[in-house]
Amino acid sequence: MFVEKNTMEELFDILKYLLPSLVVFAAAYYVMKLFIENEGRNRMKDYKVENTRLITPLRLQAYERIILLLERITPSNLIMRVYRRDMSSAELQVTLLQNIRDEYEHNLSQQIYVSEAAWELTKNAKEEIIKIINTAATTVPDGATAADLSQIIIEKTLELKEMPTHKAIAFIKKEIGKVF
């Protein structure tokens, strides 16, 4: 019986030192865990703030470039820029389409910085302008001049309720107003 008492006393002595140590360890672990999680959140917040600071000018520039693209491929602006008196209607058509493709390809990377909806409207506007030019080209007689094709393209754009490029520009301006 004496042996059991001694063993029990030893067990209580061990627990007397072990339990407070475990409580201190658990408390320290919990505090450290909270500290590390808080630091992680703070670093993520700092990262997001820095990322926003760096990305915002790029996004604004992308929206500017998309609007410039849309303005440049608007048929009236496009015709004024590429039209030459000595061109045939076929030459004008090829030049207009090539200009649109070049402008679009030059700005393809901007889709990273603009919303999906803004980019879709930009793509759709480009496709609609190409469609207008090709449709107009099918209506001019053989041997027609660039002036004849230009006139038909302008007439077709006037028939539209809303120019696709203007619709996209209005959407982008509204989106910029919401974001910035």
- Averaged pLDDT in 10-residue chunks for the chain of 180 residues: 66 86 94 95 89 86 97 97 95 98 97 96 98 97 94 96 96 90
Residue 2's pLDDT is 47
Alpha-carbon Rg for the chain, nearest whole angstrom, is: 35
Q: Report pTM.
A: 0.74
Q: Are 154 and 174 in contact (CB under 8 A)?
A: no
Residue 98's pLDDT is 98
Q: What element of type H or E holds 83?
A: none
Burial of 168 (0-12, 13-18, 19+ CB in 10 A): buried
Question: Domain count of the chain?
Answer: 1
Distance CA 61, CA 68 (A): 10
Distance CA 175, CA 52 (A): 17
Tokens of 96: 């207009």
Long-range CB pairs of 176-180, under 8 A, 24+ apart, other chains included: 176/60, 176/63, 179/59, 180/56, 180/60
Tokens of 16: 């007397």
Residue 4's pLDDT is 57
Distance CA 61, CA 114 (A): 10
Residue 52's pLDDT is 78
Residue 49's pLDDT is 86
Q: Domain limits at 12?
A: 2-179
Angle, helices 116-139 vs 146-159, to 10°: value is 130
SS3 145: strand
